[in-house]
Chains A and B, each alone.
Chain A
Amino acid sequence: MIPELVDWVSDPANWQGTDGVPARVLQHAGYVALALLIAAAIAVPLGLFVGHTRRGAVVLVGSGNAIRALPTLGLVTFLFLLFTDSFVAALIGLVVLGVPPILAGTYAGIQAVDHDVVDAAEGMGMRGGQRLWRIEVPIALPLILGGVRNAVLQLVATAAVAAYVGLGGLGRYLFDGLANFDYGEVTAGAILTALLAVILDLVIAAVQRALVPKGVRIATAGRRAAGPAATEEVVA
């Protein structure tokens, strides 16, 4: 397995053209990004609404779990039969997969905002929208972005099914490699997928670090380490 992997990786042909690693990585990341954007556009507003109004939480949690139980491969195949368009099928499949983690994170984040804080905001004369955007969202940001992070990890892993319905991405190496008994290619595909996941995760972690308000970070650190961490931050 290792010699085959080395052979595959060291073959310059595998790094060039439309089948080459750079092109496939970009394709894969593209599917992930597009699915993530659409999933976030659906899940974030829905999560904000349910978290803010506390209406429909039961339905939300139930349907989130139901979706998670769906086998993605089966879903994508079904969608492919339905739409006879592999791109649409794969994209919908990925979006369906990306929605639950973002929805759960957003809802949980908004819902976890200290009730006293929301109450104070309302008592000081903030209207619903002001309360949501100026108070609830900034405080919920760590959990919202945590949901996005979970979604990205799942999407990177699952975007390989796009290849199953005939599209590109790193999944190509898996399916083609299996078909040709080229285990070097299969292994390379798996490793590249994992690497992509790690890199994207680091990127989002950096975004998270940049976006989460300092006060929220200090409060969370203080709660986790009950004291020492908080004093450290005071000095810093």
Chain B
Amino acid sequence: MGIEFRGVTKKYPDGTVAVDDLSLTVEDGTITVLVGPSGCGKTTSLRMINRMIEPTAGTVLLDGQDIRESDPAVLRRGIGYVIQHAGLFPHRTVLGNVATVPLLSGWDRRKARQRAAELLETVGLPAELGRRYPAQLSGGQQQRVGVARALAADAPVLLMDEPFSAVDPVVRQGLQDELLRLQARLGKTIVFVTHDIDEAIRLGDKVAVLRVGGRLAQYGTPADVLRHPVDDFVAGFVGKDRGYRGLSFLSAEGVRVEDVPTIRVGSAPDVVEPHWRLAVNDEGEPRGWLPPDSTVDGELAESDLVAGGSLYRQGDPIRGALDAALSSPAGLGVVVDEGGKAIGVVTAHQVLDVIEGHPEGVGGA
């Protein structure tokens, strides 16, 4: 179900123009992220899709139909909505919260609760949590419940207003991964609001950058916005290290994976060697590095090793390969296969050669 804004303007009674002549098409089955500084009209734009706010001018179309033709309550039951800070109902259990829309839509109680229980699993919450009340959950759990509640209607469209803003970066990344996994399975049309450009780039198939005053500054793929910001505002907003971030969209094709001498943890190294050796466990997974000229008493233990850098999974964008090489104590980025087994190494030098030879270039402006 696509969404289309046609010349939409929202002027609040006090004269604030929150959204100014917005025209934008959100394609069916994609994640579109609205991003921009505080007060640029992201929430206002989002809430005009489910008629929580009525535009002063222009039209919003859902699946080609003017949303003003539908009853607001019915329209909203067909659109999942995750509000900022979850907004869970404190007097209802987690299951009761998630079952809200199915019950409103007239499902019988048992079926609604069953659906709710499934959804808890979908968003990665243990079933026991279903009986708890929102006040008994952590911030991250509450936000997951908020997402589950929005998914419960099985609506083709999902609106998410800074759904992951209240949690620390680690939990946040977990929630983002979860959302991408879910989306790969469910293929919904998602409009996602954030003021975090990194989140926008990670999640968005398309990114709409808004500027204060509610005007659309740029709309395109994340790679596009990073490489070719249309003006100084967008360039400034996407940040200083956008050249490096742009590597997230470059394939690592052409980077040669080289062999590396390895040594098994638990074996007894009888020779001293003048170069770095990659320590692996019995499964072939990298555990760390053994520095040049090290001697080991008896069996090689993990405590003899220098911790390794980040790992680069073969097939991922080139950013991971460069980071692996730069973060490795040996200057050699460890490449692993799907199963996590070490298959070789790359050097920063090689990676840079490939980047420089890339027809797309890197940084853009």
Contact = CB atoms under 8 A, between A and B. Distances in A.
Interface of A: 114, 116-117, 119-127, 130, 135, 138-139, 213-216, 218-219, 222, 230, 233-234
A135 B89 contact: yes
Contacts of B52: 119, 122-123
Given A122-B76, A124-B77, A125-B77, 6 more contacts: A116-B83, A121-B89, A124-B100, A135-B89, A219-B133, A219-B134
Contact of B135 (A117, A125, A219): A219
Contacts of A119: 52, 83, 87
A215 B81 contact: no
B74 interface: yes
A218 B93 CA distance: 11
Contacts of A138: 91
Contacts of A114: 87, 90
A139 B91 contact: yes
A120 B90 CA distance: 12
A215 B92 contact: yes
Nearest to B132: A234
Given A130-B104, A230-B136, A234-B136, A120 B88 contact: yes
A232 B311 CA distance: 43
B83 A215 contact: no
B136 A117 contact: no
- For B77, B84, B91, the residue with the greatest tally of chain A CB atoms inside 10 Å of its CB is B91
A122 B101 CA distance: 11
Given A218-B135, A230-B135, A233-B136, A126 B73 contact: yes
A233 B136 CA distance: 8
A120 B132 contact: no
A125 B89 contact: no
Interface string B181-215: 00000000000000000000000000000000000
B133 to A, nearest CB: 4
27 contacts: A114-B90, A116-B85, A117-B87, A120-B81, A120-B89, A121-B89, A122-B52, A122-B76, A123-B76, A124-B104, A124-B149, A125-B72, A125-B73, A125-B76, A125-B101, A126-B73, A139-B90, A213-B91, A213-B92, A215-B90, A215-B133, A215-B134, A218-B133, A219-B133, A233-B136, A234-B132, A234-B136
B76 A215 contact: no
Given A117-B87, A215-B91, A215-B93, A123 B81 contact: yes
B133 A117 contact: no
A138 B76 CA distance: 23
- For A122, A215, A218, the residue with the greatest tally of chain B CB atoms inside 10 Å of its CB is A215
B347 interface: no
B50 interface: yes
A4 B132 CA distance: 58
Interface string B47-81: 10010100000000000000000001111111001
Given A215-B134, A230-B136, A120 B87 contact: yes
Given A116-B87, A117-B87, A119-B83, A126 B104 contact: yes
Interface in B92-117: 92-93, 100-101, 104
A188 B209 CA distance: 77
A125 B104 contact: yes
A222 B135 contact: yes
Nearest to A214: B133
B73 A127 contact: yes
Contacts of A135: 89, 91
B135 A215 contact: yes
A213 B91 CA distance: 6
A148 B104 CA distance: 31
A218 B83 CA distance: 23
Contacts of A124: 76-77, 81, 100-101, 104, 149, 153
Contacts of A230: 135-136
A225 to B, nearest CB: 12
B83 A120 contact: yes
Contacts of B100: 124
A120 B147 CA distance: 12
- For B75, B77, B90, the residue with the greatest tally of chain A CB atoms inside 10 Å of its CB is B90
- For A123, A126, A230, the residue with the greatest tally of chain B CB atoms inside 10 Å of its CB is A123
Nearest to B72: A125
Nearest first, the 7 closest Cβ-Cβ pairs linking A and B are: A120-B87, A215-B133, A125-B77, A125-B76, A213-B91, A116-B87, A219-B135
